[in-house]
């Protein structure tokens, strides 16, 4: 049972799972990282403009289970990167 005003209680609020409203059955949205099947959290959501340069903006939301998977994803989509975490994140998460 969660006790009010503890760190665990506050984290439980922040780490709200994403529910796919379109599915209609309250299903959770999975982490966007390739090999991960955990549920995504609101806390690790990012919004990306996927439209071509100069075109109408088209925004996509991506959710992740952890800051680590968010960083993996962000660094994976950047051209020239080699699927590595940025220096500040190595060994920290």
Nearer to Zn ion, 1 or 65 (CB): 65
For residues 3-42, which are near Zn ion according to CB under 5 A? 31, 33, 36, 38
**Structural contact between residues 16 and 41, judged by C-beta atoms closer than 8 angstroms:** yes
CB 75 within 8 A of CB 83: yes
State which of positions 65-84 bind Zn ion (CB under 5 A): 65, 69
Size of interface with Zn ion, in residues (CB under 5 A): 6
d(CA 51, CA 60): 10
Residue 26 Cβ, how far from Zn ion at the closest point, in Å?
20
Contact 75, 86 (CB under 8 A): yes
Least distance from C-beta 50 to Zn ion, angstroms? 20
């Amino acid at each position: 049972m969660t006790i009010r005003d503890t760190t665990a209680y506050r984290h439980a609020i922040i780490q709200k799972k994403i529910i796919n409203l379109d599915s209609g059955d309250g299903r959770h949205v999975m982490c966007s990282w390739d090999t991960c099947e955990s549920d995504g959290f609101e806390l690790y959501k990012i919004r990306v403009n996927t439209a071509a340069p100069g075109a109408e903006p088209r925004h996509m939301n991506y959710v992740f289970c952890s800051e680590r998977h968010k960083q993996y994803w962000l660094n994976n989509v950047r051209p020239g990167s080699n699927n590595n975490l940025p220096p500040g994140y190595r060994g920290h998460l």
